[in-house]
């Protein structure tokens, strides 16, 4: 396969792809459910996300250099394989459209209130088309260059908020929640981190398949730790009741920062950096949708499918009526109860078990 990425680039792709939307959209539901123990929920979600990444890399090691489209029929048979591929394809198309709409809703509600919702969607999609047509290597290089800036800025905003922390706001630990509530609070974040199942496509391009596990798992872990730290800071600064009432708690935390009336309005610096993370997420999803579609229809030059995917994504992104549909209803009523347990956890786990048993039998029969 002519397109190749390194383990380091895979790490930065996963981390950069996940961090922006995870911090923006999963902290509020975690706080609403687990309150002062929400940061513990985020830790639990991180472990789940790491496990999903691990499972994806195990499948790839059984079928190195192949994508989900090519090896799935070998695992479950031709007809069932095609059906599952169709379901995953539809899932990735819908998630890409929702990410674009969530991004556009945020931009319109915070800095461009009079802008038609289509404009940010179209602009982001055009930027993604430009980098995606180069291939996975172009996306990997962008994430490797831009990813550190994004993570440094997020870390800096958390450090600047330390002076406003009141630790009593996270007390008592566990007593008011219990493991059942903490686990429920973990599900939204676990769903966002579960989009590392893109690895089922991306790992086909890694130079050394045996080195894919650590960068994939560590990328998810880094995002989880940053989200956990952000949740802890938000709860200790605002309190769980105030934080749960905010639409974007992390964005409000950045706006709240004021150091000697000199360091203020840091959101003006954060938003452009945050857009980088959204850009990387959209580009990766766009590449997976385009390349996967080309493989399904056996189109040799996969870039030709770019202009087939673009109008479909634009139409799907206009389906949600407002912020509630894209950022609350879809994640909480569709993604968490259905997509997470089936698409992100259940099916990959079954595929790993079946592929491992099949290949073990082959190795036993033909040593």
Tens digits of per-residue pLDDT, 330-345?
999 999 999 999 999 9
- Max avg pLDDT among 200-209, 228-237, 264-273: 228-237
Residue listed under structure tokens 């998810």: 220
Q: What is the mean pLDDT of the chain?
A: 92
With cut-offs at 50, 70 and 90, classify the pLDDT of residue 72: very high
The three-state secondary structure class of 3 is coil
pLDDT band at residue 110 using 50, 70 and 90 as cut-offs: confident
Res. 367: pLDDT tops 70: no
Q: Residue 322's pLDDT band (boundaries 50, 70, 90)?
A: confident
Q: Find, among 132, 149, 126, the residue nearest to 277 by Cα.
A: 149
Mean pLDDT of 159-176: 89
Q: What is the pLDDT of residue 2?
A: 53
SS3 track for 58-104: HHHHHCCCCCHHHHHHHHHCHHHHHHHHHHHHHHHHHHHHHHHHHHH
- pLDDT for the residue numbered 364: 67
On whether the CB atoms of residues 196 and 51 are closer than 8 A, the answer is: no
Helix, strand, coil abundance in the chain, percent, nearest 5: 85, 0, 15
What is the model's pLDDT at position 1?
43
pLDDT digits (tens, 9 = 90+) for 343-354: 999 999 999 999
176 pLDDT band (50/70/90 cuts)? confident
What is the architecture, at CATH level 2, of domain 7-353? Answer: Up-down Bundle (1.20)
- Residue 366 pLDDT class (50, 70, 90 cuts): low
Rounded-to-integer distance, Cα 328 and Cα 29, Å: 9
pLDDT tens digit string along 302-315? Answer: 999 999 999 999 99
Of 170-174, 197-201, 236-240, 263-267, least confident by mean pLDDT is 263-267
Instruction: In whole angstroms, give the CA distance from residue 153 to residue 150.
Output: 5
Average pLDDT (242-250) is: 94
Task: Give the H or E element holding residue 9.
Answer: helix 7-25
Name the band, by pLDDT with cuts 50, 70 and 90, for residue 271: confident
Residues 250-277 have a mean pLDDT of: 84
Residue 365 has pLDDT above 90, yes or no: no
pLDDT value at residue 33: 94
Q: Which of 34, 77, 19, 12 is nearest to 354 (CA)?
A: 77
CB atoms within 10 A of CB 75: 22
pLDDT digits (tens, 9 = 90+) for 28-58: 999 999 999 999 999 999 999 999 999 999 9
pLDDT at 80 > cutoff 50: yes
CB 284 within 8 A of CB 139: yes
Residue 206: beta bridge partners? Answer: 5
> What is the residue whose two structure tokens read 């996975």?
136
177 confidence band (pLDDT: 50, 70, 90)? confident
Tell me the C-alpha distance between 31 and 185, whole Å.
7
* Percent share of the chain, pLDDT over 70: 98
- CB burial of 283-297 (b: ≥16 within 10 Å; e: otherwise) equals bbbbbbbbbbbbbee
């Amino acid at each position: 396969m002519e397109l190749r990425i390194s383990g380091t680039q895979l790490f930065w792709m996963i981390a950069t792809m996940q961090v922006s939307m995870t911090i923006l959209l999963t902290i509020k539901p975690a706080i609403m459910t687990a309150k002062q123990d929400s940061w513990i929920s985020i830790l639990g979600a991180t472990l789940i996300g790491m496990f999903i990444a691990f499972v994806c890399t195990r499948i790839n090691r059984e079928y190195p250099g192949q994508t989900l489209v090519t090896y799935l029929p070998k695992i479950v048979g031709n007809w069932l394989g095609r059906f599952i591929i169709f379901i995953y394809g539809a899932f990735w198309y819908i998630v890409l459209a929702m990410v674009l709409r969530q991004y556009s809703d945020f931009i319109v509600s915070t800095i461009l209130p009079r802008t038609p919702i289509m404009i940010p969607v179209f602009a982001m999609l055009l930027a993604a088309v430009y980098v995606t047509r180069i291939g996975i290597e172009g996306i990997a290089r962008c994430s490797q260059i831009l990813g550190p800036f994004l993570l440094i800025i997020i870390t800096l905003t958390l450090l600047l908020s330390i002076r406003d922390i009141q630790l009593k706001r996270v007390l008592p630990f566990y007593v008011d929640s219990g493991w059942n509530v903490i686990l429920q609070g973990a599900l939204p974040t676990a769903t966002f981190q579960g989009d590392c199942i893109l690895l089922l496509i991306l790992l086909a391009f890694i130079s050394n398949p045996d080195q894919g596990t650590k960068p994939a798992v560590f990328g998810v872990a880094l995002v989880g730790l940053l989200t956990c730290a952000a949740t802890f800071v938000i709860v200790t600064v605002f309190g769980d009741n105030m934080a749960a009432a905010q639409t974007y708690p992390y964005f409000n935390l950045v706006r709240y920062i004021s150091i000697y009336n000199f360091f203020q309005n840091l959101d003006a610096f954060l938003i452009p950096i945050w857009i980088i993370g959204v850009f990387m997420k959209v580009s990766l999803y766009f590449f997976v949708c385009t390349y996967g579609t080309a493989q399904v229809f056996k189109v040799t030059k996969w870039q030709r499918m770019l202009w087939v995917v673009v109008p479909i994504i634009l139409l799907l992104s206009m389906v949600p009526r407002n912020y509630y549909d894209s950022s609350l209803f879809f994640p909480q009523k569709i993604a968490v109860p259905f997509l997470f347990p089936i698409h992100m956890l259940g099916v990959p786990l079954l595929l790993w078990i079946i592929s491992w048993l099949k290949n073990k039998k082959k190795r036993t029969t033909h040593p």
